[in-house]
Structure 1
């Protein structure tokens, strides 16, 4: 089974982590591993953005070729140059600000900051908390020893090109209050791209509810397993583009926890399309592949009938019949010529008044 096909609650994630630590994985080692994956992914994203900008500049300088990109002279050289780190020189590397919380999410952010600092990025740290967990404090002290600027003021982030949010991780349940709530609102108003580690700070892990206020992320780098809250409607405007960062959670640990509680499956695009179109033998007949009757539409809501018909057609059904008000028949015939469109008597308001179907329908 693929980990990406499941979503977990905060309690389930705690149980899974507890099994990993009980098996002998040190907390500090896991933090280093996870943060290393995050740092590598951030560099990959920035590299891709640098490549996109170089190509955009190249094409704008061409005055518009009207050709496929692959045929434009010089584009191959631009892409070859963009393959490696030379996409950025030290003057072009973006300045990155890290929002550091008191827990291990903040520790993750600090390790990422350290690694990107060693790669030549300009890094600053914003940590508004006087007390932090022991491991997080170790990384904070080490960051200071490297002369990475650290401050408890939001102003330190003003000149950053990108922010990385590690204020709060999964499991937050209490509402965020001032002064942290005010700081989060200030950060959101900086209008800078923000990458959140695991979950945007201020979002409830299970429900997706905003706990007073929350970071509005451009991207969310979810760690290990999808958190249920990220998939809830109320969280979507805060999550941005979400992706899963795999750090090697043993499937046995996940299975052991999920089999004792509710197992939440994600329906991904790949899963949804895996059974479509319906399999059929090379020699067949439309009536052998299923006959579907749709009864839908009204004069006011003609679009609903069309969309329903298009969806049914895409399913791979052999024969499709659609019963609609008589006034919609010509419209449906134009949109779905392969379907049998049945016009029915309609009311004064344009709805079907009586269903009249052919004998073989």
Structure 2
């Protein structure tokens, strides 16, 4: 566990247990609710000081209690406020009932809410705890708000989102800003939840870290705190072979560019030596484009096995531009005792017999990194890809356990999962990474880190994060070639 609270994630259920533990430790639970509601009111006034009306929509639980506190605080600050409730407020319990009693404003049923221009919505209906389709009255309110394009500030999580998976449960508000408490939830980071939360503010309401730490699972936010201590560092005795040798397999003469992108990325990531293993027919094409990267003719499995006699050839990238024929499977299986990043065509080549890949890498230390996007994930794990009840984290972890591999489940919400149950959600990748060759660069970065001896899970996590940072430095109009030049350790 790292000490950076910004990297911690708690599921809604875990956060609920932390709330109960805080109250059980003697902390005033209503005081926590007061701090939460006041933080929401402060955010609303900061972001929309000229709001014509703050429409506070309060639900039947503690999220609604936060809303009643926020409504009272807004009114006390002189803002125009209208309160609407879902369900019968007389049935509120505990702190939510106390908050409702303390809110002297009159309230109307949610069904009577009429959206009007100038409204700022405070969504305090459900928050992160919802696990069922929203009722019709909430769906109607969402439709009305969307229809006028009204700004929404969500309390904890936009109502209608599953805080565990980020899925929309029938309908969900699209917030411009979300105020959550103590830690983020997976639903803030997983798609489509990430797109519906707007900017996310994490407010510390005073629950001790020791209580939160007791509820932490094996899922966190990716960042240097997770892997910095094992990131390879140079020393005075360093030479190129001690920095590791990465081999990247090239495709045929008409498809060599992807391998060269991976190779150059591996070199920038710190590998001491990088070789492009090329079919003889593509040697001239590759030679014309390579300088610091070496070139080796490898046409057959026999050629590869001879190459593997040198134990310094320890890390490999296979897949970018390689083709999906039997040769891809043969080469991957020949590498069963080496560290391998299997990407793109290398993944697709096993779509009809994924078990042969999994069996080859099943024993010993984790040596295999799979980097599928959504479609490729479905080719290797069709049953997991269609499991609508599982979150992206659940699917990645199940795939990782089955394959005995680190799985980099790519997307705008990339998840890195290991067979030991650890998972990370990456958050620093800009939209500009959706460009040709970007995935080839990522495979090369991870391969370069593996070549230097970095542990497999940490190499994958660091590679994903460094890839995102490079894209941010490269700017909105990046190309894959430019992306490589911005890789920094």
Q: Structure 1 residues 141, 16: closer, same or farther in 2, change over 3 A?
A: closer
- Residue 210, structure 1, aligned to residue 165, structure 2: no
Query: Could you give the per-residue CA deviations for residues 141-184 of structure 1, whole angstroms, max 9, x where no partner exists?
Result: 55444x7x756356544233532211102322222231222222
Equivalent pair of 1:124/1:157 in contact (CA under 8 Å)? no
Equivalent pair of 1:94/1:160 in contact (CA under 8 Å)? yes
Deviates more, 1:34-43 or 1:271-280: 271-280
Q: Which has the larger radius of gyration?
A: 1
Query: Could you give the per-residue CA deviations for residues 206-251 of structure 1, whole angstroms, max 9, x where no partner exists?
Result: 2333222222222332221222333333433323333422223212
* Aligned position for 1:254: 212
Equivalent pair of 2:51/2:120 in contact (CA under 8 Å)? no
- Residue 271, structure 1, aligned to residue 225, structure 2: yes
| Equivalent of 1:36 in 35, 38, 49 | 38
Report deviation, 1:282.
4.7
TM-score normalised over the length of structure 2 = 0.53
Equivalent pair of 1:170/1:205 in contact (CA under 8 Å)? yes
Q: Which runs of 5 or more residues in structure 2 are unaligned?
A: 301-320, 332-489
Report deviation, 1:256.
3.0
Report deviation, 1:297.
4.4
Report deviation, 1:252.
2.0
Q: Which runs of 5 or more residues in structure 1 are unaligned?
A: 48-87, 356-361
Deviates more, 1:131-140 or 1:172-181: 131-140
SS state at 1:286 partner:
coil
Equivalent pair of 2:239/2:272 in contact (CA under 8 Å)? yes
- For residues 165 and 120 of structure 1, the distance between their equivalents in structure 2, rounded to whole angstroms, comes to 20
TM-score normalised over the length of structure 1 = 0.69
* Aligned position for 2:309: none
* Aligned position for 2:246: 292
Instruction: After TM superposition, list the pairs within 5 Å mapping 1:1-361 onto structure 2.
Output: 1-44=3-46, 46=47, 92=50, 95-131=53-89, 132-134=91-93, 135-140=95-100, 142-145=102-105, 152-153=110-111, 155-160=113-118, 162-258=120-216, 263-271=217-225, 274=228, 278-282=232-236, 284-297=238-251, 304-324=258-278, 327=282, 330=285, 334=289, 337-342=291-296, 351=323
- For residues 144 and 222 of structure 1, the distance between their equivalents in structure 2, rounded to whole angstroms, comes to 25
- For residues 197 and 328 of structure 1, the distance between their equivalents in structure 2, rounded to whole angstroms, comes to 59
- For residues 255 and 199 of structure 2, the distance between their equivalents in structure 1, rounded to whole angstroms, comes to 33
Report deviation, 1:13.
1.8
Greater relative contact order, per chain length (Cα 8 Å cut-off, separation 6+):
1
Aligned residues: 302
SS state at 2:164 partner:
coil
SS state at 2:266 partner:
helix
Equivalent pair of 2:122/2:153 in contact (CA under 8 Å)? yes
Equivalent pair of 1:144/1:150 in contact (CA under 8 Å)? no
RMSD: 3.6
Q: Structure 1 residues 26, 251: closer, same or farther in 2, change over 3 A?
A: same
- For residues 156 and 208 of structure 2, the distance between their equivalents in structure 1, rounded to whole angstroms, comes to 18
